[in-house]
Chains A and B, each alone.
Chain A
Amino acid sequence: MQRLLILSRKKQESILIGKNIIIKILEVEGDRVKIGIEAPKDMKVLRKELYEDIREENKQAMNASKDKFDKLFQLF
């Protein structure tokens, strides 16, 4: 089950997630927040919109049918 937890933090304060993920607020400037993330090396940390963009593109790439490739090779 997912839940949404809302916390207020000041500069240099942190949040601990589980035992080994630390999220630290490093800088706040206008509407930009600089965040430091300490996480296990094998854990992927990505900007969400970039992850979603790549995920969608991977799905599109998977849709490549034989027909599309036949058309593609006519361009060679």
Chain B
Amino acid sequence: MTNQRNIEKQEDRVDKIITFKNGFLGLENYKKYILLDHPGTDIIKWFQSVENSDIALPVINPVYFFPDYAPKISKTDLETIEIKSPEEALILCIITVPDDPKKITVNLKAPIVINFNKLLADQFVAENDEYKVRQPLQLSKPQRRCKGC
């Protein structure tokens, strides 16, 4: 994942507006986001809408917690954000933090795929049956194996 370096370099990230082709599912009216670090950690990032400040979704790099994570997304889908080979893609997954934070889940079924070179992204649905919309997440220590697999 060569593009992962890009988001860790401050100068590459600031003010770079990522355009979603369709938008997050259910939020199709909002297409422009910036990716911000959560204060004090590099594990959690936020997709912050530049069109509506109320819209922000927290994401993690799924590979950090699920090293085997490999969502199956069709070539046709990837072409909509001009991705031709897997190395061009950075994948992030949305986390949901309920009132009891121990019950945090991650959406492995519908990852966000980003083409950082073109600043294009979208939320796609992975064909993998084993990936859940609400996969429990152990935040304290990275899981060595994909428990959903």
Contact = CB atoms under 8 A, between A and B. Distances in A.
Q: Do A and B come from one complex?
A: yes
A59 to B, nearest CB: 6
A54 B101 contact: no
B101 A55 contact: no
A51 B133 CA distance: 11
Contacts of B125: 46, 50, 54
Contact of B101 (A53, A59, A72): A72
Interface of B: prevailing SS: loop
A69 B21 CA distance: 29
Chain A: interface residue count, which band? 20 to 34
Nearest to A68: B97
A20 interface: no
B36 interface: no
A57 B55 contact: no
Given A59-B26, A68-B97, A68-B99, A54 B139 contact: no
B44 to A, nearest CB: 8
B69 interface: no
- Closest 8 CB pairs between A and B? A55-B26, A72-B101, A61-B96, A54-B110, A71-B101, A68-B97, A54-B25, A64-B97
